[in-house]
Amino acid sequence: MKRDEKIDHACHGAGTMPDAASVRGELARILVSQCFATSERMRALIEYLVNQTLDGRADRLKEYTIAVEVFGRGKDFDPRIETVVRTEAWRLRARLTRYYETEGVANPIRLQLAKRSFAVLAWSIPEPSRSLSFAPRSVSTVARVAVLPFMATGDDPLLRGFGESLSDEFSHALSRLPRLEVAARSSCRAMTAQPMVDIREAARHLGATLLFEGSLRRTGNDIRILLQLIDAVTGCQLWTHAKVVSWCDEAGFLEDTAARLVTDLMRSAPVWQTSLAETFIESVRLDSDLRQILLVGMGCTPTVLDIMRHSIGWLETRLRDNPNDAEMQLTLANLLAAFITIVPGSGADLMPRLRHVAQMSTTEPHLATQGLIAWGMASLFVLDLATAHGALTRAVTLAPQDCGARMARGLLHLQVGCLDGAMNDIRLAREFHPLSATVTGMAAAVLINCRRYGEAVELARRAVALDTEFKPAQALLADALFWDGRVSQALGRFEELTEIGGRSAYALGKLGYVSARAGLTDKARAILEELNDSDDDPARVSMARVPIQLGLGDHDAALSALTVALEMPTAPELLLCSAPQFDPLRGDKRFAALLARLGAGVHQAATACEATPTAG
């Protein structure tokens, strides 16, 4: 065997050993797949492991080497203490499994990591076996775009290099959007190298329906980026956008700038009148499921809300012409549910619309469960608990093995204090989907409310390992560490979450409470002052004050803030029935009276939850 063909052959019966070129071809398919598009770490790791194995250096694949060469760790990295390589390898195995169950199901080659090793195994799938596989769902392309190299004004070679790199990163960022084809960068560069090329002629040669071109001008430390979207048929501008950024040599600056340009594109109303609207909808749809709904309270930028508003408006317009499109109704239901949880004050206006589209989506049996989950979750967050219980129990009845239905009803059980029911539903959800960070994090939340703090820490750590970018898992880990007595660790994590994720009322309430309990009373009081100027939802601001006052030992002030919050139409209940931070108030008659004021909904839902069978 040649030196570049030393990849191991997995023992999978009839499978034959592919050559190095075939393995590299399979690696290329993996790197451009949607399954791997959202994780640069996963792409870097699989590419490194395949290349090292092909080059005959599988024996060098040790934790230390991978940590230094792939993840940029220093020479003082100690694999006995840090588990980053093992964690990422575990995630890579899971992601490869998901890839070959979906996008890669018909691929002629399979790659996987060897057991107890970081070497890569590869084998070919015989043609008869592949013909028995279910082909992935065919998804049509809605647009093909080309990004012409951004031009720098003047003779600044540094600016010229920045422009070329930024156009490459912008092209890469666009390629991560679903149902969108992006012309190869080399083709775009070759086209612009020709003198006096008409923009419509360039589009024809590149096979593009839309083109992007940009220019850059530097003044001191500021760079002004002018970006244009052009119709390939008419050659006319459809959208133009100016953005000023400050020069920065830090790693990730180009990627962040390109990502912000794509976000600005998605926020623009004129662009929603083009064929790009459908790819935006698909992108938002993929992020508008139960996972997105669970981000409530973690902070949300106006940018996200703008994109969601455009998405909701676009879908409602299309549904006027296609009122029986159940899939479109479900997408709208998920978006409305997510919007209501992020902006509770919108519930009065949006809940009737959500109820209608959720009911419409249930006309298709394969969509009914997801529509009921959206309706139930939104009802839960506006404290219509009886409706939430009815919708979510119906979802579980329709699909008893649906992970999302079990998890959503488990959250309802947790909200009304039925901890046994919550534990049962989340346990079953984990059995159905053991590699979900969302489900694992929810299990940690249930354990915190059951006062099983040590177990909660372990599950929260596992949730973070499954998805390092899922903020609720990070917050749950900090919570679990605090309740397990590791106050300094929890404080550090809440500090980091607050700085990185934004100083939302939810985050400030958590940080203020832990600070007060750690004896940092001045800091806790400063956070109370900061909440006075918060532009977050008023009910959430009032609710954020409650734990801080409890941490400071001022029960009267805590009850006063809680009373104010519960009098508002957008009040989030935040697990009053079960959360441990409210334990100091449980013997107070005033607290019992406040719980009673939540109305018959809590009692009715709690009674119904207790009567719900716990068998799977």
Q: Residues 403-414: what's their mean pLDDT?
A: 87
Q: Which CATH class is domain 143-270?
A: alpha beta
Q: Is the pLDDT of residue 243 over 50?
A: yes
Q: CB–CB of 224/135 below 8 Å?
A: no
Q: Which of 375-384, 394-403, 425-434 has the lowest mean pLDDT?
A: 375-384
Instruction: Give the model's pLDDT for residue 615.
Output: 45
Q: Residues 24-53: what's their mean pLDDT?
A: 86
Among residues of the chain, what percentage have pLDDT more than 90?
A: 24
Q: Is the pLDDT of residue 606 over 70?
A: no
DSSP for 330-352 reads HHHHHHHHHHHHHSGGGHHHHHH
- 544-562: per-residue pLDDT in tens? 999 999 999 999 999 998 8
Q: Residues 113-137: what's their mean pLDDT?
A: 61
Instruction: Give the model's pLDDT for residue 133.
Output: 33
Show the tokens assigned to 572: 């989030």
Q: Is the pLDDT of residue 607 over 70?
A: no
Across all residues in the chain, what is the average pLDDT?
81
Structural element, H or E, at residue 246: strand 237-246
Torsional class of 207: left (φ above 0), alpha (ψ -120 to 50), beta (otherwise): left
Show the tokens assigned to 249: 């040599």
Instruction: Give the model's pLDDT for residue 226.
Output: 95
Instruction: Give the model's pLDDT for residue 573.
Output: 56
CB-CB neighbours of 471 under 10 Å: 18
The more confident residue out of 139 and 504 is 504
Instruction: Give the model's pLDDT for residue 175.
Output: 86
The more confident residue out of 603 and 362 is 362
pLDDT band at 14 (very low <50, low <70, confident <90, very high): very low
**Residue ranges per structural domain of the chain:** 3-131, 143-270, 486-585
The more confident residue out of 341 and 202 is 202
Instruction: Give the model's pLDDT for residue 459.
Output: 92
Angle between helices 600-611 and 385-398 (to 10 degrees): 20
pLDDT band at 305 (very low <50, low <70, confident <90, very high): confident
Q: Residues 423-443: what's their mean pLDDT?
A: 86
pLDDT band at 571 (very low <50, low <70, confident <90, very high): low
